[in-house]
Amino acid sequence: MNNLLKEKKGIIFGALDEKSIAWKVAEKCKEQGAIFTLTNAPIALRMGQINKLAEKCNSKVIPADVTSISDLDNLFKESIKSLGGKLDFILHSVGMSPNIRKKKEYGDLNYEWFQKTLDVSAISFHKIMQLAEKNNVLNKWSSILALSYIAAQRTFPFYSDMAEAKSVLESVTRSYGYRLGKMKNININKKKGEIMTPKIVLTTTGIIMLLHGILFFFGADDMARSGVPDISEKALRVGIGLAEIVAMISVFLGMVLIFSRDIEISSAKKVLTGTGIGYLFLIAGVIKHVIDFQDIPEQAPPIPSIVIIVLLAVWTFYVALVKKDSSE
């Protein structure tokens, strides 16, 4: 146990039995030191095994219909009372489709049931966050997580009207994520893998700069001697020394970027902007070097290095200045 969630307080929606995602999340949260209440609809509490989980996690079970404002309001009040303070996290792991349960074809949906699907699986998420905001139950820097599915963005016929529900859920995540993020620095997320995130760019560029610095440091002597064969020994030593200094700076900056990968998104984008500007100066320096030494045949333009630096600069500026965060 690493106590990553030590003394963090939260509410976990949707645990039914050991097959539930919320059940597994609750177990992991408990392992990491969190304290939380468990909730589900009254009928689900009767059908499931949530009391077994509550006993294992030493958590209180508070029944709540996620479509009911009064139930949710009571849930927040009782949770804060039981946990002894405001919340640090909420997990929304709730979804249900009467049309799927009744095996209705997508071209023959019952629209009252369709509305029920939206109410339970998506609109409930908005209700939870709206009440959390109005009742001021969330600590600063708290997190809210909802579970989506790829059918929100791709066609999966078997998922029927749940696909629409997940699309609404993701839209609510973006809209309320922006609102609470601006107001209280609260993170609202749905899990979706991508390569265009500040964390990945910081880590990747940091590793590249680190490796570049190490290789440059140990290869400085050979590069200097092969580049200008008739250079004097004194000038050679000066050149090698300067190359080693540049290599150590590259190693230093690489380590800074790697260890900055977990900083808050807005700060990470500022670091990436500065990194991109640094790349521009580096590109200008390489071009100047090529121009200054164009009369020396042995000094071939470092085309691969230039291409890599340009690609890194474009990638860095795109993520820092153009790419929108998935929670926006």
What six digits make up the tokens of 192? 């979706």
Instruction: Please indicate, yes or no, if residue 327 is contained in any of the structural domains.
Output: no
* Widest Cα–Cα separation across the chain: 87
Residues 220, 304 within the same domain: yes
The predicted pLDDT at position 25 comes to: 95
Residues 130, 29 within the same domain: yes
Q: Given 156, 171, 190, which residue is the final one in a domain?
A: 190
DSSP state, 17?
S
Residues 24, 155: Cα–Cα separation, whole Å: 28
Instruction: Please indicate, yes or no, if residue 4 is contained in any of the structural domains.
Output: no
Collapsed DSSP state (helix, strand, coil) of residue 18: coil
The predicted pLDDT at position 321 comes to: 78
Residues 237, 184 within the same domain: no
Residues 21, 132 within the same domain: yes
Q: What's the predicted TM-score (pTM) here?
A: 0.59
Residues 101, 210 within the same domain: no
Please tell me the total count of domains within the chain. Answer: 2
Closest CA to 298 of 232, 244, 224, 234: 224
* CATH code of 66's domain: 3.40.50.720
Instruction: Please indicate, yes or no, if residue 1 is contained in any of the structural domains.
Output: no
Tracing tokens 């859920």 back to the chain, one arrives at 169
Collapsed DSSP state (helix, strand, coil) of residue 70: helix
Instruction: Please indicate, yes or no, if residue 229 is contained in any of the structural domains.
Output: yes
The predicted pLDDT at position 313 comes to: 81
Residues 60, 181 within the same domain: yes
What six digits make up the tokens of 133? 């905001």
Please, which residues have CB within 8 angstroms of residue 264's CB and are 6 or more apart in sequence? 185
Residues 79, 213 within the same domain: no
Q: Given 190, 223, 246, which residue is the final one in a domain?
A: 190
Contact predicate 221/240, CB 8 Å: yes
Closest CA to 124 of 176, 184, 79, 53: 176
Q: pLDDT (tens digit, 0 to 9) for every residue of the chain, 328 residues total?
A: 578 899 999 999 999 999 899 999 999 999 999 999 999 999 888 888 999 999 999 999 999 999 999 999 999 999 999 999 999 999 999 999 999 999 999 999 999 999 999 999 999 999 999 999 999 999 988 999 999 988 888 888 889 999 999 999 999 999 998 898 888 777 776 554 444 567 777 888 788 878 877 877 777 666 656 555 566 677 667 767 777 787 788 888 888 888 887 776 677 778 888 888 888 887 887 777 667 766 655 555 566 667 777 887 887 887 777 765 544 4
Backbone angles phi, psi at 86, to 5 degrees: -70, 170
Residues 151, 213 within the same domain: no
Instruction: Please indicate, yes or no, if residue 71 is contained in any of the structural domains.
Output: yes
Residues 172, 294 within the same domain: no
What six digits make up the tokens of 142? 């708290």
E strands of the chain, at which residues? 9-13, 35-39, 87-92, 138-146, 187-190
Residues 127, 208 within the same domain: no
Q: Annotate 167-202 with three-state secondary structure.
A: HHHHHHHHHHHHHHHHHHCCEEEECCCCCCCHHHHH
Residue 292 buriedness (CB in 10 A; 0-12 / 13-18 / 19+): exposed
The predicted pLDDT at position 114 comes to: 97
Closest CA to 39 of 3, 9, 65, 7: 65
Residues 139, 258 within the same domain: no
Instruction: Please indicate, yes or no, if residue 202 is contained in any of the structural domains.
Output: yes
Q: Given 155, 190, 225, which residue is the final one in a domain?
A: 190
Total Cβ atoms within 10 A of residue 95? 20
Instruction: Please indicate, yes or no, if residue 227 is contained in any of the structural domains.
Output: yes
* Domain region containing 156: 9-190
Instruction: Please indicate, yes or no, if residue 87 is contained in any of the structural domains.
Output: yes
Residues 208, 162 within the same domain: no
DSSP state, 294?
T
The predicted pLDDT at position 326 comes to: 45
